[in-house]
Amino acid sequence: MLDDMDRRILRHWQADAGLSPGELAERTGISAGKVARRIVRMQEAGIVAGVGAIVDWAALGYAVEVSLRITLDKTQGNAFDAFLEAARQVAEVIEIQTFLGRVDVRLSIIARDMAHYQAIYRGKILTLPHIADIEALMHVARIKSNEALPL
Amino acid sequence: MTPLDEIDHRLIRSLARDATQSAGALGRHLGLSQPATWRRIKRLEEAGILRGKHLRLNREALGFGVTVFLGVKLATKGRVSLEDFERAVSAIPEVQTVEHVLGLYDYRLRVVARDLADFERVLRRRIMTLPGAGAVEANVLLSEERLPGPLGL
């Protein structure tokens, strides 16, 4: 289990994932050797999964982002598996989540503009198997996006 | 900016997976020199395409067993400013993301909690008391996958 020192390291690292172990040592006031050992231990324990670059799709020309909340036809035994397998093949789908609640699945879709979105929606989404209902939420702005855990 | 090529796309995908790779190691993989790789990374950063780095943590291993997405509708539009709501909701530590959306809801929140009892506490004490919060719909996250997206296909 984690102690206060681990948490302190993670809090600073979460706030700025680009920090090196040396910089983390400086910010946390913990010795560099200790920080390095703690990081290795947390990686080995599967607590730290890695550091990834954040890709800004809008800067890449994908100005439109839509959340599609989908209800599946659960009378079909394989509805979930068949739907998810097909949704993974759609290049513009960047996120797939499944839920317990009013909605079964949510897809995040990116598109260059509304015409492109329309083409994806008609050609690649409505053709996915076992859809009973779809609701769309159009993304306007990201107010908070750091996905930090309250450690 | 000159258009991105196939190598840029591979670079973006590779860094999205692991941003700790050195320019030298990435370059060997892509058949580029270290300085050429570095220049490409700089260019992508300056264009805002690579927008910082994200530490991926295992939520369950850290004791956060429940992730819930909330759709929030504002009850008193016009009377409470969006800025007030956004400031208050962003300040809640358990709220990981806040998105302003158009459609059935006004905002979409991603909330983490230790368990369902903890989630109920956050919902009652923090979310329901937000200025202007109206109808709230909750969906508990069961599984999640992030896909590489339309680059280089």
Residues of A in contact with B54 (CB under 8 A): 17, 51-54, 146-147
Q: Summarize the confidence of residues B58-75 as an average pLDDT.
A: 94
Contact at CB, A135 and B104, closer than 8 angstroms: yes
pLDDT at B153 over 60: no
Using N-to-C axis directions, what is the helix angle for B6-17 and B23-30, rounded to 10°?
Answer: 130
- As a whole number of angstroms, the distance between CA A12 and CA B23 comes to 25
Report the chain A residue with the minimal C-alpha distance to residue B151.
A91
- Residue B107 amino acid letter: Y
Contact at CB, B149 and A17, closer than 8 angstroms: no
CA distance B109 to chain A (A): 9
Q: Is B146 on the interface with A (CB under 8 A)?
A: yes
Model pLDDT for residues A35-47, shown as the tens digit of each residue: 999 999 999 999 9
Contact at CB, A144 and B62, closer than 8 angstroms: no
Tell me the pLDDT of chain A averaged across its residues. Answer: 94
The number of angstroms, rounded, from the C-alpha of B125 to the middle of its chain's C-alpha atoms is 24
> Please, where are the H alpha helices in B1-153?
6-17, 23-30, 34-46, 82-90, 116-122
- Going by pLDDT thresholds of 50, 70 and 90, the confidence category of residue A137 is very high
- As a whole number of angstroms, the distance between CA B50 and CA A5 comes to 30
Higher pLDDT, B152 or A6: A6
Look up residue B80 and give its DSSP letter.
B
pLDDT at A1 over 80: no
Q: Summarize the confidence of residues A7-35 as an average pLDDT.
A: 95
pLDDT at B152 over 70: no
ipTM of the modeled complex:
0.89
Residues of B in contact with A142 (CB under 8 A): 97-100
Distances (CA, A) of A58 to A7, A16, A103: 33, 22, 27
Contact at CB, A99 and B110, closer than 8 angstroms: no
Cβ atoms B90, A145 nearer than 8 A = no
Report the chain B residue with the minimal C-alpha distance to residue A65.
B101
Total CB pairs under 8 A between chain A and B: 191
- Residue B62 amino acid letter: L
Q: Summarize the confidence of residues B38-62 as an average pLDDT.
A: 95
Percentage with pLDDT > 70 across chain A: 100
Cβ atoms B105, B71 nearer than 8 A = yes
Model pLDDT for residues A54-113, shown as the tens digit of each residue: 999 999 999 999 999 999 998 988 999 999 999 999 999 999 999 998 899 999 999 999
Residues of B in contact with A140 (CB under 8 A): 99-102
- As a whole number of angstroms, the distance between CA B14 and CA B26 comes to 8
Q: Is A139 on the interface with B (CB under 8 A)?
A: yes
The number of angstroms, rounded, from the C-alpha of B124 to the middle of its chain's C-alpha atoms is 24
Cβ atoms A135, A67 nearer than 8 A = no
Residues of B in contact with A13 (CB under 8 A): 55
- Going by pLDDT thresholds of 50, 70 and 90, the confidence category of residue B82 is confident
- As a whole number of angstroms, the distance between CA B153 and CA B150 comes to 6
What's the pLDDT score for residue B79? Answer: 65
Model pLDDT for residues B122-137, shown as the tens digit of each residue: 999 999 999 888 889 9
Model pLDDT for residues B4-49, shown as the tens digit of each residue: 999 999 999 999 999 999 999 999 999 999 999 999 999 999 999 9
